[in-house]
Structure 1
Amino acid sequence: MSDVNQASQTLLDSNPASQRIPPSVFLLTGAVAVIGSNSLVLSPIAPEVAQSLGVSVPMVMSGTAAFGLGTAASALFLARHIDRIGAWRMLRIAFMLLTASLLVSAAAPVAFVLVAAQLGAGVAAGVALPAIYASAAAIAPPGRESKTVGIVLTGWTLSLVAGVSISAVLADWLDWRAVYGAVFLLAAGAFAVLVFNGHRDKVSTEPAALPLAALTIVGVRPLLLACGAFMTAFYGVYAYLGDHLHSVLGLPISANGLVTLVYGLGFGAAAFLDSLEKRVSPRLGLPAAFLAVALVYLLMAMENGTYGAILALAFLWGLANHLGLNLLIVRLTALEPGRRGAIMGLNSAVTYLAVFAGPLGFGWLYTTAGFGALAGLAVVLMVVAILAAYAAPSTPRN
């Protein structure tokens, strides 16, 4: 770079306007909120759905498993085209499919149709989420990647606080179909905004890489192993927390919504710890966040079933999970910026294989040994995540 270009870049970086978070980031945040509302809403209302359709709760939760399987397959085989086709264009296509799938979910006459519709929603999410995360990293101001990704991740907070929590109350007052109807309206609104926002893509001229090609990038494999253990633990515990509260503790469905609300508040509160994240080295920050998650699961395994204790742990759970997820995405997207779409596709594939494996794999243990055993297994998985994250090569923050 010439001296003139260096001086221009220095002036740009020192300009406060160049450091502002782009408005597009908040649109991406809303898109995450819609996807999150669908992916997390079934657990709190599962007992109501099971009673309505005349099936068991594990059968209903196979809808979440189908969503995870569809997301994983889509992320693996379709998300690799994001860099070539354009993240925003792919996002619009994905939301068109998501909107249709949610409409079918709301009208499902039998459990099989609900499961099939959630499989379609998963295919949409498997393209949408990598496109969102790749776009967030690409449009982030220099030096503010963690902050930008953190804002986008608050979409999960919105889905938990304004989506899932209210949905549990709707299921109590009205019907579980009203829940999916509400999420359908959110998805339709988001699709309309995406169509008319006019955001242009910067596409790559290189052909799409093979589905697993990004695994050759140094650092990807151990971080994906950490992601898999981290997410399997979360979805395995989350899938049956609602039934534990309703069937074991005898609480109403709306109580599940309050737990989800508190979890969402904890998840959002982690945004205030952005300055703390910067003081910890990249190699130690992620294992430390995973250690905090492991401690929460350990306390869950030891708690005596009181609702107050579960609420307190839900807040800490959300706080620790946000830190872990944020640091994981920042480290992954920093490995090779030119292949963010492919890397995030693998990340989403692993994440939603965990959505598939968590409810199914933990279901037998929950039925035979109870909720405490689930939390104990989650601790073991988090130990794996800690070791994998520590073993991964650290990448410097931009």
Structure 2
Amino acid sequence: MTNADQHISTKSVERSRIPPFAFVLTTCIGVIGSNSLALGPIAPEVARSLDVGAPAVMTASAVFGLGTAASAIFLGRFIDRYGPSRMLVIALLLLAIGLGASAAAPALPFLVTAQLLVGIAAGIALPAIYTLAAIVAPAGRESETIGLVLTGWTLSMVAGVPLSAAIADFAGWRVTFLVVAAAALIVCAAVRMAVVRGDAPQAAASSPLTALGVRGAVPLLSACAAFMAAFYGVYAYIGDHLHAALELPLSANGFIAAFYGVGFGSAAFLDRLIDRLGAGKLLPLIFLVVAAVYVAMAAASGSYKAMLAVVFFWGLANHLGLNVLIMRLTALSPTRRGAIMGLNSGVTYLALFAGTLAFGNLYSAASFFALPVAAGGLMLAAALCAALAPR
């Protein structure tokens, strides 16, 4: 090989490296996830401080989810108008303000309002992050890049949530929100200083419903709705099943979350296979694998050890499904990525609300065994929708 060949080869390798900015996006996901997942574990302490019941405190979490959904659907289109980096900076600033207001909340209505602001910020930030992940991904390493960014959810679940609970124990729940707010400001500064090529405004802001006209958007978003409703519907009640049916302490829920998070993060090592095999044909197959995991969960629901093993593979399969789904959606229309990813985040959080409610009724009427069975049925529907979507 000549020196010129070596120079070209070296430049090619450098171009194929995942940029450091992807790690900034991973941390952004971790910060958002730390807020959205942490309120549950610290709810008893918040309830005691504000002199209300724990279920009342969780209305703040519900309002956060609805705020995220509405914001993602109706404001996500401005990502295309003003550029994802600029909108992410604005969203992270709003997130920090909302978290600071949450820390200062003197009463529950104030906390609920503050979490609504946090939800609005998250609804802008999440589609902006996924859009930027698609922009900065090197050719041929799209799946690996998006998979790396998605491990931010693992970061929040395995590290952020336990750390938030520990801070609440030793310093109070208000300090927990202040710490997450400070983290939001730090990543905001990192995004502001970064130079990202290709994140310039792409299109004028239009009605969010126009993105539904993009070929392939409706079946993929339908698959997203089924996928997320299945996950949140089962995840919301698995802890109560362990405590009420298997008579395990509440600490057992922490291991369930940890095993899921480790499985979710471990799938990052498989992401490069997606780039080699192609996302188009893999998505229906991955959803079928997730359906099989739910069937296994139903069979294992009477054993805690078996549940831990199944939950690990649940996290692994869900990571692959979410990764490929985002790849498919961001590839539909480069000029409308923000609007499409806004719809994706909106559908996700509406599915959280609907799935938790519907599965709660099923859980009350039957038992936990029925939940993964129903989730498996939803995943079959998701696989069908994915198969119908044009590649």
Q: Aligned pair 1:19/2:16, yes or no?
A: yes
Q: What is the alpha-carbon distance in structure 1 between the residues aligned to residue 369 and residue 41 of structure 2?
A: 18
Q: Is the 8 A contact 1:43 1:238 kept in 2?
A: no
Corresponding position of 1:285: 282
Out of 211, 218, 223, which is 1:221 matched to? 218
Taking a change above 3 Å as real, the CA distance of residues 289 and 209 of structure 1, as seen in their structure-2 partners, is same
Q: What is the alpha-carbon distance in structure 2 between the residues aligned to residue 194 and residue 368 of structure 1?
A: 48
Taking a change above 3 Å as real, the CA distance of residues 226 and 205 of structure 1, as seen in their structure-2 partners, is closer
Shift of 1:92: 1.0
Corresponding position of 1:153: 150
Q: What is the alpha-carbon distance in structure 2 between the residues aligned to residue 393 and residue 276 of structure 1?
A: 21
Q: What is the alpha-carbon distance in structure 2 between the residues aligned to residue 61 and residue 292 of structure 1?
A: 32
For the residue of structure 2 that corresponds to 1:207, the secondary structure is: coil
Corresponding position of 2:228: 231
Q: Is the 8 A contact 1:62 1:359 kept in 2?
A: no
Corresponding position of 1:321: 318
Q: Is the 8 A contact 2:140 2:275 kept in 1?
A: no
Aligned identity (percent) is: 57
Q: Aligned pair 1:390/2:373, yes or no?
A: no
Please, which runs of 5 or more residues in structure 2 have no aligned partner? 1-7
User: What TM-score, normalized to structure 2?
Assistant: 0.88
Q: How does 1:112-191 map to 2 (within 5 A)?
A: 112-170=109-167, 176-191=173-188
Corresponding position of 1:341: 338
Q: Aligned pair 1:352/2:352, yes or no?
A: no
Shift of 1:72: 1.2
Taking a change above 3 Å as real, the CA distance of residues 207 and 304 of structure 1, as seen in their structure-2 partners, is closer
Q: Is the 8 A contact 2:330 2:340 kept in 1?
A: yes
Shift of 1:117: 2.6
Corresponding position of 1:296: 293
Shift of 1:61: 3.9
Q: Aligned pair 1:73/2:66, yes or no?
A: no
Shift of 1:231: 0.8
Q: Name whichever of 197-206 and 236-245 sits farther off.
A: 197-206
Shift of 1:342: 1.5
| Residue-by-residue CA offset, 1:69-126 (whole Å, 9 max, x unaligned) | 1111111111101122111111111111111222333444554443333222111111
Q: What is the alpha-carbon distance in structure 2 between the residues aligned to residue 17 and residue 314 of structure 1?
A: 37
For the residue of structure 2 that corresponds to 1:212, the secondary structure is: helix
Q: Is the 8 A contact 1:230 1:382 kept in 2?
A: yes
Corresponding position of 1:101: 98
For the residue of structure 2 that corresponds to 1:324, the secondary structure is: helix
Q: Is the 8 A contact 2:71 2:120 kept in 1?
A: yes
Q: What is the alpha-carbon distance in structure 2 between the residues aligned to residue 13 and residue 216 of structure 1?
A: 42
| Residue-by-residue CA offset, 1:178-237 (whole Å, 9 max, x unaligned) | 543443332233233334446577433642121111111111100000001101111122
User: What TM-score, normalized to structure 1?
Assistant: 0.87
Corresponding position of 1:5: none
The number of residue pairs the alignment matches comes to 384
Shift of 1:140: 1.4
Q: Is the 8 A contact 1:136 1:149 kept in 2?
A: yes
Q: Is the 8 A contact 2:34 2:161 kept in 1?
A: yes
| Residue-by-residue CA offset, 1:221-266 (whole Å, 9 max, x unaligned) | 0000000110111112222333333454444444322221211110
Q: Is the 8 A contact 1:282 1:331 kept in 2?
A: yes
Taking a change above 3 Å as real, the CA distance of residues 43 and 352 of structure 1, as seen in their structure-2 partners, is same
Q: What is the alpha-carbon distance in structure 2 between the residues aligned to residue 222 and residue 101 of structure 1?
A: 34
| Residue-by-residue CA offset, 1:332-363 (whole Å, 9 max, x unaligned) | 11112222112111111111111222333333
Q: What is the alpha-carbon distance in structure 2 between the residues aligned to residue 270 and residue 358 of structure 1?
A: 25
Shift of 1:288: 1.5
Q: What is the alpha-carbon distance in structure 2 between the residues aligned to residue 21 and residue 105 of structure 1?
A: 36
